[in-house]
Amino acid sequence: MYYNHKPKFPDGFMWGASSAAWQVEGATLEGGRTQSVIDLNSQTKKPYTDNSIAADHYHRYKEDVNLMVECGFTSYRFSISWSRIIPNAERKLNPEGIAFYNNLINELIAHNITPIVTLYHYDMPCWVEEKYGGWLDRHIIDEFDYYCRVCFEQFGDRVKYWLSINEQNMQICYGDWLGVSKNCTDWFRQKWMINHIMNLCHAKAVIACHELVEDGKIGPVPGYVPIYPESCKPEDQIAAMNAEELTQKIWNDLYAYGEYSEFVKKYWKEHEIDPDIRPGDMELIAQAKIDFFALNCYRSNVAKEAKMGTQYQELGLNKSGRKGEFVYPNYPGEYALAPNPYVQTTDWDWEIDPVAMRYMLRYMNDHYHLPMMITENGYGAHESIAEDGHVHDPKRVDFLRDQIYQIGLAIEDGCDVIAYNLWSFTDLLSTGNGMAKRYGLVYVNTTDEEVLDLRRIPKDSFYWYSRLIKSNGQDWGKEM
Ligand code: BGP
């Protein structure tokens, strides 16, 4: 990538990183926390370690915040663990859990780091699941509303940026992988009921935030994967549009406009799907006006025509970290995905495509005209400590430089971007690959096979990022 000028980032642009409670905290059964469904899910992903220790952030949050300060962070996006706040069905609050987040928030604020807090990042408490059998029961909407209100009441005096549900679209698209499809007998149809229930949870969170948090702002967190047509064949373009609808636009339209799009209504009709929309639901959704979009973007996709009558093929994620194991899906009559010959890939076959970042920001700006913040973007890799005691991650530096540069170009294009929070600050557990797939600016000394001393070692990318953010996006670390 060649840079011919330095784009300007706005004053007050927030620079930081991201995490999720279940992937970073550990201490899953400490401090009054009870188990969540994703804890159990993580135990089944062998040969990878589970999340019982993770990066041990629960015990080392002060050390972690000190490192953020050293790096120059002005924001930190993390999630609250529902079962740490409300550990059981009696709805009794857990003072130790509340104290943990109060301490973390106070520590951040004391160092001028703005907390950006996700309410739900894949971690439904086991007690909710036991009581209601999972996401299909509408009682969850009230439980979630209660939990969100507790968070707003406890932390809303200091936390002004809130995020509702992390990657609802991905949870619906990859239900098995993220544990949402548990207890479903007909996932193809029931996922749309669950999706509707999640939309109602999201709407309740938005409404409660505006009611309870003075100057509070809240937005959803879609997982965004730009989709390019494989060729200029018109049918490939329609396939790309279908893929875009079925993996992200359906969700974003609802968040922004407060109603289901004609596309999804037609899709339900064609497939005889009843999402179980009840009187009053759409009024509630319409009332929930979001303040911004928080966007997670790692990679891009290529779509091509999938003719009717061709063989159905489900998408297969690369779960091993051995290149070439991703299975491209074929959904007859809708779309197929294909490799992109113009980009490199990671060991998990994720496309390394910085332009996707600019594409996403332009697309979202054009469609929704709302401020945006990046809440995830990063490079997952196999890594270890080098003989000199450091961790050298030149590919991550290249990845981040190229991605952030494209954000700068999107800002020049007119996009209102207010923050960049990469994934992740310390190494933490991957959704399916334990510690084998590392994303951190800071190495955490532990492995899937053995729990080591968990000491923190800033990687080369930490120092590179630090220079960039302390100069508000001017010091790129090499000649431009
Ligand atoms: C996002 C999730 C994160 C995170 C990231 C990387 O979709 O919001 O929780 O894990 O992806 O994914 P993975 O850990 O599978 O590489």
Over residues 117-153, the pLDDT tens digits come to 999 999 999 999 999 998 999 999 999 999 999 999 9
Q: What is the model's pLDDT at position 468?
A: 97
Catalytic residue among 25, 107, 143, 167: 167
* CA atoms within a 13 Å half-sphere pointing along the CA-CB vector of 159: 32
Average confidence (pLDDT) over 265-281: 97
- Report which protein residue has its CA nearest ligand 1's atom 15: 431
Average confidence (pLDDT) over 327-343: 97
- 2 has pLDDT over 70: no
Residue 235 is a catalytic residue: no
Ligand 1 pocket residue status of 432, Cβ below 6 Å: yes
Confidence of residue 253 (pLDDT cuts 50, 70, 90): very high
Residue 167 is a catalytic residue: yes
**Cα(351)–Cα(348) distance, integer angstroms:** 9
Name the strand (E) or helix (H) holding 18: strand 14-18
- 242 has pLDDT over 90: yes
Confidence of residue 176 (pLDDT cuts 50, 70, 90): confident
Confidence of residue 479 (pLDDT cuts 50, 70, 90): low
Residue whose C-alpha is closest to residue 261's, from 241, 280, 236 = 241
- Please report, to the nearest 10 degrees, the dihedral formed by the alpha carbons of residues 147, 149, 153, 156 taken in order: 100
Residue whose C-alpha is closest to residue 58's, from 442, 434, 428, 377 = 428
- 478 has pLDDT over 80: no
Find out whether 124 and 139 touch, Cβ atoms under 8 Å: no
Rounded distance from Cα 35 to ligand 1 centre (Å): 20
Using one digit for the tens of pLDDT, what is the confidence trace for 194-238?
Answer: 999 999 999 999 999 999 999 999 999 999 999 999 999 999 999
Q: What is the model's pLDDT at position 71?
A: 98
pTM: 0.97
Confidence of residue 177 (pLDDT cuts 50, 70, 90): confident
DSSP H helices in 213-329: 234-244, 250-257, 262-270, 281-287
Q: What is the model's pLDDT at position 408?
A: 97
Q: What is the model's pLDDT at position 1?
A: 47
Cβ burial, residue 214 (10 Å; 0-12/13-18/19+): exposed
Rounded distance from Cα 115 to ligand 1 centre (Å): 20
Q: What is the model's pLDDT at position 3?
A: 67
Using one digit for the tens of pLDDT, what is the confidence trace for 347-392?
Answer: 999 999 999 999 999 999 999 999 999 999 999 999 999 999 999 9
Q: What is the model's pLDDT at position 183?
A: 86
Catalytic residue among 25, 143, 351, 376: 376
Confidence of residue 5 (pLDDT cuts 50, 70, 90): confident
* 312: three-class secondary structure by DSSP: coil
**Cα(461)–Cα(466) distance, integer angstroms:** 8
**Cα(306)–Cα(226) distance, integer angstroms:** 19
